[in-house]
Amino acid sequence: MTDRALRVLSLIPPMTQLNTPYPSTAYLTGFLRSRGIDARQADLALALVLRLFTPAGLDALRERALAVPEARRSGSLHAFLDQFARYRRTIGPTIAYLQGRDSTLAHRIAARELLPEGPRFNALAQYEDDGSGDPLGWAFGALGVQDKARHIATLYLDDLADVIRDAVDERFAFVRYAESLASSQPSFEPLAQALAAPPTLIDDVLRELTLEVMEREQPDLVLLSVPFPGAVYAALRIGQTIKARWPQVRVALGGGYANTELRELKEPRVFDFVDFVTLDAGERPLLALIEHLQGQRGPQRLVRTFVRDEAGAVKYINLAEPDVPFEDVGTPTWDGLPLQSYLSLVDMLNPMHRLWSDGRWNKLTVAHGCYWKKCSFCDVGLDYIGRYETATASTLADRIERIVEETGQTGFHFVDEAAPPKALKALAEELLRRELPITWWGNIRFEKTFTPELSQLLADSGCIAMSGGLEVASDRLLALMKKGVTVDQVARVTKGFSDAGILVHAYLMYGFPTQTVQDTVDALEYVRQLFENGCIQSGFFHRFSCTVHSPVGLNPADYGIQLVPLPPVSFAKNDIGFIDPTGVDHDALGVGLRKALYNYMHGIGLDEDVRAWFSHLPHSVPRPTVKKHRIARALAG
């Protein structure tokens, strides 16, 4: 340690989001500064993409692509090499456009004459010509030049990401980078081998960026915030670089991935790359860790922290201390992050779905944890769900005002597990009382408390969209899940939001224990009717995954399943396989579900029999038992 006050640097490792900072470092930096600690932050995920997507970065990428034998070159590599001069010439202007620095370029991009087009553009062939000669005319019309250009530029970047995958690292993706190395991986060996392998172009660039930020900030403690499995590999590469150059600097890893998957960590090799791994809400463990590094607290008084002892064994130390109340965690700060450099992307032609990739949103939570905490598929026993705490509407509005003053941007995404309706109502009233003109969206449960009147109040306060879990649209399975809602109730709540001008996204699930083919067909019919009646505008189907921390994983017999025994676990533990006596091939059904939903989100196929989406199966599926106008009658009732 140096003679000056201890300095903390929080890093976002690749990959997370490109349109807005992942919020964890903003929370931690704001909290630490509120306690008088010198805290800095940097987003290496964004920095990596911006370094790769330059003329020099594409030159290096071309070298790797040329090294791939001709016979093994994918369509993406052929398109990139054949049109390389155009890619090199246009990459700088395209990035500037997506950052909002050159809006007039939209006219040339939208005309589809400026940017080279690779295999990703083949997707445009699915859209019917509206008579204008433009396959995107139905989505953007004559005046939607900016959005159309942003979608085309997004496809252009997707083509380049495919080139990186095919020429540099097959594990690369914009959101999930080397995810399979870490997701529910019982052994550290796959990660150890990858980290010991010769560095790829991405590894080299990430190393350069790590050295640069370390030289610039000169921290004593580095925090690696790892929200997903797709950020673990890069986080450990960052730790590897720091340990090689600055062995005296301490490195701590935490975040959503550690909180869910590393709760039984025993692998000592992890600590070749980091010194500490913390669990759950980071504020209290970090205060204890900082006091320890300053000589004010012994190592046996750390909080929720894994270390490697002198004998080389992993130890978990947890001195019982109360967590910092949600009311007292302070206001997030984005100071130090290049807010004008993020990329606004439009990857899907759906007004609700685009919110996740388009625009720079200030991310904030209305409450910590979930007020319901009963859903049987959820990690209800873990801190991020089970510890429910709120802040007053006045405190939240104060935080919003300070964030707007700092960032100059009035868009907010409330990233709660499920924002409580009472708190949202109070916040909406406070925003209106203060005349704070913000735009916001968030995640909720579709419960009956959200009346049409409350929906309108939320819209008046700036709400433009809501997402929530419908899961399996089956009252039997919703009851088994302990979801606390019915399909009819979801229809009425979502219709109330839509009538108030609020877009609605539904999280959908398939493959839940005891779910039959008939359940699946009926659920899709419900979803079709929800789209048809204007209740929802967007959705996403995901395959049910049983986690060891959920009620299903803890009490499988209650759900009619048998768990598949896990191998010995020394590293990550989260998902667990199970045997469902129904024997349904949910993966095969999932193909039809995702295809149907993709079309519904584009307004296509809403008048077709849902069985048509399963025509790829070697057998027919049963007709839906749901009446054709079930949702319409529920709304009328």
Q: What is the pLDDT of residue 4?
A: 73
Q: What is the pLDDT of residue 350?
A: 85
Q: How confident is the model at residue 140 (pLDDT cuts 50, 70, 90)?
A: confident
Q: What is the pLDDT of residue 393?
A: 97
CA pair distance 283, 502, nearest whole angstrom: 34
Q: How confident is the model at residue 141 (pLDDT cuts 50, 70, 90)?
A: confident
3-class SS letters over 174-226:
CCCCCHHHCCCCCCCHHHHHHHHCCCCHHHHHHHHHHHHHHHHHCCCEEEEEC
Q: What is the pLDDT of residue 131?
A: 54
Q: Is the pLDDT of residue 125 over 80?
A: no
Which segment of 136-140, 316-320, 334-338 scores lowest on mean pLDDT? 136-140
Dihedral sign computed on CA atoms, order 546, 549, 552, 558: positive
The alpha helices in 294-332, defined as continuous H runs, are none
Q: What is the pLDDT of residue 137?
A: 76
CA pair distance 599, 576, nearest whole angstrom: 32
pLDDT in tens, 253-277: 999 999 999 999 999 999 999 999 9
The average pLDDT across 82-110 equals 97
Q: What is the pLDDT of residue 139?
A: 75
pTM over 0.85: yes
Q: How confident is the model at residue 127 (pLDDT cuts 50, 70, 90)?
A: low
Q: What is the pLDDT of residue 277?
A: 98
For the chain, give percent helix, strand, coil, nearest 5: 45, 15, 40
Q: How confident is the model at residue 3 (pLDDT cuts 50, 70, 90)?
A: low
The average pLDDT across 45-68 equals 98
Question: Please, what's the largest Cα pairwise distance for the chain?
Answer: 74
pLDDT in tens, 425-474: 999 999 999 999 999 999 999 999 999 999 999 999 999 999 999 999 99
The average pLDDT across 404-421 equals 96
Residue 474 phi, psi dihedral angles, 5° rounding: -150, 120
User: Who has greater pLDDT, 142 or 596?
Assistant: 596
Q: Is the pLDDT of residue 206 over 90?
A: yes
The token duo for 413 is: 């995404």
Nearest Cα neighbor of 275 from 290, 253, 293, 302 is: 253
CA pair distance 500, 582, nearest whole angstrom: 41
pLDDT in tens, 170-203: 999 887 788 999 999 999 999 999 999 999 999 9
Q: What is the pLDDT of residue 601?
A: 93
3-class SS letters over 154-187:
HHHHHHHHHHHHHHCCCCCCCCCCCHHHCCCCCC
Residue 240 phi, psi dihedral angles, 5° rounding: -60, -45
Q: Is the pLDDT of residue 252 over 90?
A: yes
Q: What is the pLDDT of residue 637?
A: 80
Nearest Cα neighbor of 441 from 462, 471, 470 is: 462
According to DSSP, residue 378 is labeled: S
Q: What is the pLDDT of residue 275?
A: 98
The token duo for 454 is: 């409350």
The average pLDDT across 607-626 equals 96
CA pair distance 480, 478, nearest whole angstrom: 5
CA pair distance 275, 597, nearest whole angstrom: 45
